[in-house]
Amino acid sequence: MPTHTPEEIKSVTSTFDFSGTLTVNLDIQPIMKRALGREVKTPEDYVHAAALIATKYRFAAFAGWPFQLEWMKKYLTTEYPKKQMVVNFPYGTDPLEVALEQMKWGLDRGAEEIDSVIPVQFAQAGDFAAIEKYAATLQDAARPYGVQVKSIIRVADLMRTEDELRTYATIIATSKAVAAAGGAFVKTCTGWNDGKATSRIIAAIKEAVAGTDTMVKASGGISCIGDGLVLLAAGADRLAGRWTVVAELEALGVAGAGFDF
């Protein structure tokens, strides 16, 4: 297992958004059982266990479905992780009005951050004005709550072409549209089989939003601390990774090493 300094580990955990939107499978059951001290039997147990883990490592945020928000509020009681709710997730197929109402529902009930999927069809069609309108509408509505909206652009859907130059031009134009809308973040993927973040993609998005307040969230394919460090070096401001990162933190004995997470 690679050796990382406490500073490197903290740079990953402090920018890490932990997902509660995945299903409980055999791979993560042991981790959740250790966190909860018993078997995970119900959807609430799942959120409880994941919240304990996210709090233990002081991750930046815990991302969950709308139906999980009440449990997130129950078990996430410290400043970090933030309670992050997903909107128009994971495919971005809802009309703007539906996504807006869903987001407002969550904000009125205590969501502290929003992850929203941009309708990828707009980007594929080159309708970047529609992307800007979508991102601006959500961010403007969230601003009175003091909440940031992360716009997910599903990079794999934008890469379904043999024309690499066109692919990156679309990613860049989509990112610029989100930045022009005042969006807080451009996020690469949902983590639901829609691609992975690479150094090249992160660098391209970072350049696209340069000179604005919009930041970059890398998601997809981040399976270890080393992956996170590479993407932070490429320009990512936040990360979203897999349960394997938690397994690595456990193996490193981070909790008992005196690190201030």
CA distance readout (Å), 64 to 17, 90, 177, 243: 10, 12, 26, 14
Confidence of residue 24 (pLDDT cuts 50, 70, 90): low
Residues 171-179 have a mean pLDDT of 97
183-235 pLDDT, tens digit each: 999 999 998 776 789 999 999 999 999 999 999 999 998 989 999 999 999 99
Q: What is the DSSP string of 128-178?
A: HHHHHHHHHHHHHHHGGGT-EEEEE--HHHHT-SS-HHHHHHHHHHHHHHH
Residue 13 has pLDDT above 70, yes or no: yes
pLDDT at residue number 113: 97
* Percent over 70 (pLDDT), the chain: 93
Straight-line distance from the first to the last Cα atom of the chain, in angstroms, rounded to the nearest whole number: 21
Confidence of residue 260 (pLDDT cuts 50, 70, 90): very low
Q: How many residues does the chain have?
A: 261
- Using DSSP, state whether 109 is helix, strand or coil: coil
Residue 244 has pLDDT above 90, yes or no: no
Report domain extents, the chain. 6-256
The helix/strand count (H/E) of the chain reads as 12, 8
Widest distance between CA atoms in the chain: 51
pLDDT at residue number 166: 84
In CATH, what number does 6-256 get?
3.20.20.70
111-158 pLDDT, tens digit each: 999 999 999 899 999 999 999 999 999 999 999 999 999 999 999 888
pLDDT at residue number 215: 98
- Global pTM reads 0.93
